[in-house]
Amino acid sequence: MAPSFIYPRVQAIPQVDRASLRVDGVERVGYEFGLGGPRPFLYPVLGGSGALLTRMGHPNPVGHEHHRSIWFGHEKVAGTNFWGERPGTDIQVRHKRVVLYQDGAEWAGMVTESDWWAHGHAVMRQRLILVLEPFEDGTYALDFQTRFESVGVPVALDKSNFGFLGVRMAKTISETHGGGKLTADDGTTGEKGIFGTAHRWIDYSGPSAPDTVEGICYMDHPENPRHPTHWHVRADGWMIASVTLAEPHGLATDHPLDLRYRLLIHSGAADRPKLEQAWKSYAKLPAYTQTPAVKAELPALHRGKPA
């Protein structure tokens, strides 16, 4: 073994049709991208206790098969519904490839490429950077940095509550079916107070196991268009930063849509001052950049421009 080698604390490990994001050898998040499926998604997503924080499907599963824990979709992309799932059609978010996996002492990540495919062709393309970073207090962050690009012609993203990054919480964490609570950055709570309003972050916390409370704080980065974003939230355990809730958006042939979100997985109920400070730290975080492989060096992710 090379004397300079230090075993990475955080790893992104390729597996069959999925990737495993691990901290100290223990999987915290799985990224599923099997070919032929309707879309890639994240499952499981585990809290510090090891309990599941998200769910595959709505508590009423009929008609909600597309609720795949954490996933990307949009209801109105050039007239096509990429939110629901349409068996018997070719409407899919088609995983193309993983560009890189990167391990590290402080964080690990991966870069993927997908085609949003319908009617025999790609409607738009997506590039996703997904990074997991653990913190000393046992919390960890999932960073999503994604770019949507048109494919030769402009793409209309029409007004809709559904788009882009959906989060389906575990049933026990929901307000309706469990003991959970929705909280916004200004202290507003519950679906009625938060739905359709603009906030920097939204938190959903509740029981993940007996005598255990955990949650996910969903953060909108200030570089995103229309920040602070409008939110689509539901008492049944649902939240999404809805970039097109108030008005439509469009992709020109030379003008992609870049979005950045952070999901902070934490223990305990929502602590507003602590979550606000966490959002401020995220707001200062530079965007990730990628350098290509050079000779024996692998392609690499960097926070900000590489040194």
Q: Following DSSP, what letter does each residue of 225-282 receive, concatenated?
A: TTSSPEEEEETTTEEEEETTSSS-EEEBTTB-EEEEEEEEEEESS--HHHHHHHHHHH
Q: Following DSSP, what letter does each residue of 57-102 receive, concatenated?
A: S-SS-TT-TT-BSEEEEES-BTTB--SS--TTS--EEEEEEEEEEE
In a domain, residue 248? The reply is yes
pLDDT tens across 254-274, in order? 899 999 999 999 999 999 999
In a domain, residue 266? The reply is yes
Cα distance between the two ends of the chain: 28
The reported pTM is 0.97
- Return d(Cα 48, Cα 64) in angstroms, integer: 28
In a domain, residue 2? The reply is no
Q: What backbone phi and psi angles, to 5 degrees, belong to 231? A: -120, 140
**How many domains does the chain contain in total?**
1
In a domain, residue 224? The reply is yes
pLDDT tens across 3-53, in order? 788 999 999 999 999 999 999 999 999 999 998 889 999 999 999 999 999
**Domain housing 110:** 10-286
> Which CATH number goes with the domain that contains 105?
2.70.98
In a domain, residue 298? The reply is no
Query: How far from 237 is each of 44, 58, 115, 233, CA to CA, in Å?
Result: 16, 8, 29, 8
The answer to whether 109 touches 302, Cβ cutoff 8 Å, is no
In a domain, residue 299? The reply is no
In a domain, residue 212? The reply is yes
In a domain, residue 17? The reply is yes
pLDDT tens across 147-176, in order? 999 998 999 999 999 999 999 999 999 999
